[in-house]
A and B are shown apart, each in its own frame.
Chain A
Amino acid sequence: MTMSEPIIAIENISKTFTSKERGKGRKRKKKVEALKDVSLEIFDGEVFGLLGPNGAGKTTLIKCLTTLLLPTSGTAWINGFNLQKEENKVRASIGCMLMGERGLYWKLTGRENLDYFGALYYIPKNVRRERIDYLVDLLELSDFVDRTVETYSSGQKMILAFAKSLINDAPILFLDEPTVTMDVHAARNLRSIVRNLNKEGHTIIYTTHLMAEADELCDRVAIIDRGEIIALGPPSELKSSIPQESVVDVEGVIPESARNRIVEIPGIRTAVVKDETNGKTMLGIICDNSRRVLPKIIDVLVEEDAIIEYISPQEVTLEDVFIAKTGRSLSIDTREIVTPKDAGK
């Protein structure tokens, strides 16, 4: 890929939320640093992925860049315009899909919704009509576009929200976890449209907490955790930062004690739970050389009465990059949970 000039330049953006925590009797202010001094350049014509677990700060960054939130400090340049000083031109430069199927008028039809937002993007009436017809074709909306949105299935709302983000045919497109509630087929379809849009020259910023999605779709990925960018580069480059044959996945019933002992084995860097369903655990282990430590891992599992269903050295994934950097898995929710338990002490 040939690198062109940046179309988005983010300069030291920080964002701190202050919320009131209410407990018995006492009110306290609580601060969450959702973004910590983020600087980043996104190039014209790339599909740029923001990968991170829930609560990492992906949505906050997107909302800052779409002028929905004012950063606490820092600034950005988007399509040649300054984020704070030329808000309206920034807004006209981007299309965005921010909150899944929300943000539509339920009492209007799909077409009326698109026309409404088209007008809000200052698109002349006749251009708007053509654009809507084009989108109805492109996204196969014709079956439901003339019904009110209240009658839509969740998937139909989602695709209409996606159409809405395309209404102004902006050079830059922000998609915040657009496939999160879609089925596999719809998600694949959306990604293929995103790829086509990119071929037409649109720059796309795509957030996800699914490493496979980022890997498949994006030219470059920024891995974000707790408000900071901890890795940046093309997926292949990020993955090659970890030596091959250094990832082992174990699936089965694995007691906590086994996990604790595995981490103690010399040559093992970290072991985290990647997934946990129906009492079964998927353990991801990052080590220096999987061939050498595999027998030792099996020994420990046997001694601890684990039931092993599957054990194998793995190809390195973007999730392993995240695990290697943080010691945590991508599926862990890192949002800070606001509990009133210690208020009023």
Chain B
Amino acid sequence: MTAKTVHKNLGLSEMSWRSSLGVTKTVLIARFKIVLRYKGAIVFDMILPVILAALPILLGVAIAGQAAAQNFEDATGTENYKLYMLIGASTFIVVTLMLWLVGYWIRREMETGTLESVYASPAKRVEVLSGVTLYALIRSLMAFAFAMVVGSFIFQVDLFQGEMALALAFVVIGIIPLWGISFAFGALILKVKEADSLIQVMQWVVAFFMGIFFPITVFPPFLRYVALSFPPTWMTNGVRASLLDVAYFFGTWYLDLAVLLAFAAVLPLVGYTVFLRTERRIKKNEGVGQF
């Protein structure tokens, strides 16, 4: 393969690992600058889980009264339904932020035309996506921590019980497979050029299957398998089991954690591959500038 034209230079571009990291860092910082310039966006993330947890807690008290805790223990193995709900709602916010922020990012950048500008630059896909994903990660962990702390004050529950370190391990490892799913979901949005209604629907499907307010053992067998094939279900249950007297799906923490690790090893690669393929198919036809 011999070049058929002259070669002059690459302008000011200097390709190195430093400049690669620079892309990720710049994208990450720009994401935060932009979201902070929309008033209230981040505060909303932090308050939402508290409200989300308050609903079933108050509902439980209203319906079951004094028997609420006892009834709940019969179903789940723990009487601490308040912490149970708070964990469910807080992991839910992590899951939704992680899953949809990439999709929303793609959709928004398609509309403004910035996605095409990003694609015209030499920055590699993985460098840019890492920036966006890191942003989603930081934003969701902040929301998780805030919701847990504030929620524990409001609902008068003690966070420091059970195995804290293990609970954190379930959160951290549980987030990794979400990257993969979010890339695949981003690819879908790249293709269908629509995000809002798609995310609205998926949001409730996810909330339902990952069991934010109830144990998935109440599902009929088929739905239970569907729920188990979804990594966040393992994450939520893992956090609950490590803090409360809820059972692990496989009986022990290390087996459940191993399942999450397996998801974590496979899904990001699968998701990234799906993304690159979709992108290629789109470039073969109309390109990412079409919206």
Total A-B pairs in contact (CB under 8 Å)?
168
**B34, A122: Cβ atoms closer than 8 Å:** no
* Contact assessment for B289 and A68 in the assembled complex, using a CB-CB cutoff below 8 Å: yes
Known interface pairs A77-B4, A119-B26, A124-B19. Does A107 touch B34 (Cβ–Cβ under 8 Å)? yes
Chain A residue with the shortest CB-CB distance to B36:
A107
Most buried by B among A9, A82, A121: A121
Q: Does B22 contact A (CB under 8 A)?
A: yes
Give the nearest-CB partner of B10 in chain A: A92
Residues of B close to A81: CB separation below 8 A: 3, 7
Bound form: Cα–Cα A146–B117 in Å: 21
Let me know if B202 is at the binding interface, CB within 8 A. Answer: no
Binds A, one of B136-144, B179-187, B278-286: B278-286
Which of B12, B19, B26 gathers most chain A CB within 10 Å? B12
Instruction: List the one stretch of B57-65, B69-77, B118-126, B224-232 in contact with chain A.
Output: B118-126
Q: Cβ of A6 and Cβ of B6 under 8 Å apart? A: yes
Decide: B113 and A99 in contact? CB cutoff 8 A. yes
A288 CB to closest chain B CB, in angstroms?
42
A67 / chain B contacts, CB cutoff of 8 Å: 119-120
B residues in contact with A92, CB < 8 Å: 10-11, 13, 15, 122
> Are the C-beta atoms of B114 and A103 separated by less than 8 Å?
yes
Interface size class of B (residues with CB under 8 A): 35 or more
Residues from 29 to 87 in A contacting B, C-beta threshold 8 Å: 44, 63, 66-70, 72, 77-82, 85
Are A99 and B19 in touch, CB under 8 angstroms? no
Q: With contacts A68-B289, A171-B8 known, is A120 near B123, CB below 8 A?
A: yes
Partner of B5, one of A6, A98, A117, A118: A6
Which stretch of A108-116, A204-212, A300-308, A315-323 is in the interface? A108-116
Closest Cβ of chain A to B27, distance in Å, is 8
With most chain B CB atoms within 10 A of its CB, the pick from A70, A102, A116, A128 is A116
Verify if B30 is at the interface (C-beta below 8 Å from A): yes
Q: Is A249 an interface residue (CB 8 A)?
A: no
Q: Does A125 lie at the interface of the complex (its beta carbon under 8 Å from any beta carbon of B)?
A: yes
Task: Check if A168 sits within 8 Å of B120, measured CB to CB.
Answer: no
Q: In the complex, are the beta carbons of A108 and B30 less than 8 A apart?
A: yes
- Are A70 and B280 in contact, CB atoms less than 8 angstroms apart? yes
Please give, as numbers and ranges, the residues of chain A lying within 8 Å of B13 by CB-CB distance. Answer: 92, 121-123, 168
B113 x A44 contact (CB < 8 A): no
Kindly state whether residue B112 has any CB partner on chain A within 8 Å. yes
Measured between alpha carbons, how far is A167 from B120 in the docked complex, in Å? 13
Indicate the size class of the contact surface on chain A. Answer: 35 or more
Q: Which residues of chain A have C-beta atoms less than 8 A from B123's C-beta?
A: 119-122
Q: Contacting A68 at CB < 8 Å: which of B12, B16, B20, B116?
A: B116
Provide the residues of chain A in CB contact with B9, threshold 8 Å: 171
Chain B positions within 8 Å of A125 at CB level: 22
Chain B contacts of A168 at CB under 8 A? 11-13
Query: Which residues of chain A are within 8 angstroms of B280 by Cβ–Cβ distance?
Result: 70
B10 touches A170 (CB 8 A): yes
Contact call B283/A105, Cβ cutoff below 8 A: no
Complex Cα distance, B3 from A8, in Å, reads: 10
Inter-chain contacts of A296 with B (CB < 8 A):
none
- A221–B158 Cα distance when bound, in Å, is 75
- Do residues B120 and A79 form an inter-chain contact, with CB atoms below 8 A? no
Docked complex Cα distance between A72 and B22 (Å): 34
- B22 nearest CB neighbor, chain A only: A119
| Chain A residues near B33 (CB-CB < 8 A) | 107-108, 112
A183 to chain B, nearest CB (A): 22
Bound Cα distance from A120 to B132, whole angstroms: 14
Candidate in A5, A11, A70, A96 with the most chain B CB atoms within 10 angstroms: A70
Residues of A within 8 A of B14 (CB): 122-124, 127
Let me know if B287 and A63 touch, CB within 8 A: yes
Does A169 contact B11, Cβ atoms closer than 8 Å? yes
- Answer whether A121 and B286 are a contact pair too, CB < 8 Å, given A107-B34, A116-B26: no
- Taking CB atoms, residues of chain A closer than 8 Å to B26 are 115-116, 119-120
B residues less than 8 Å from A124 (CB atoms): 14, 18-19, 22
With both chains docked as a complex, state the minimum distance between the C-beta of B17 and any C-beta of chain A, in angstroms. Answer: 11
B1 contacts A82, C-beta separation under 8 Å: yes
Known: A69-B287, A125-B22. A120 touches B121 (CB 8 A): yes
In whole angstroms, how far apart are the Cα atoms of A4 and B27 in the complex? 40
Separation of A69 and B25 alpha carbons in the complex (Å): 27
In the bound complex, how far is the Cα of B4 from the Cα of A8, in angstroms?
8
Bound-state Cα–Cα, A125 to B6, Å: 29
In the complex, which residue of chain B has the Cβ closest to the Cβ of A96? B120
Docked-complex contact B1 and A85, CB < 8 angstroms: yes
B-chain residues with CB within 8 Å of residue A44 when the two chains form the complex: 6, 8
Q: For the complex, give the distance between the alpha carbons of A306 and B57 in Å.
A: 84
- Please tell me if B95 contacts chain A, counting CB pairs below 8 Å: no
In the bound complex, what is the Cα–Cα distance between A301 and B3 (angstroms)?
A: 59
Tell whether, in the assembled complex, residue B10 and residue A70 are in contact, meaning their CB atoms are under 8 Å apart: no
Apart from A9-B5, A77-B4, list 15 A-B contacts with CB within 8 A: A44-B6, A69-B287, A70-B283, A79-B7, A79-B8, A82-B3, A91-B120, A92-B13, A99-B289, A108-B30, A116-B27, A116-B30, A119-B25, A120-B123, A128-B12
6 tightest A-B CB contacts, nearest first: A80-B7, A102-B113, A119-B26, A122-B19, A170-B11, A120-B121
Q: Mind listing 5 A-B residue pairs with CB under 8 Å? A: A68-B283, A70-B284, A92-B10, A120-B26, A121-B11
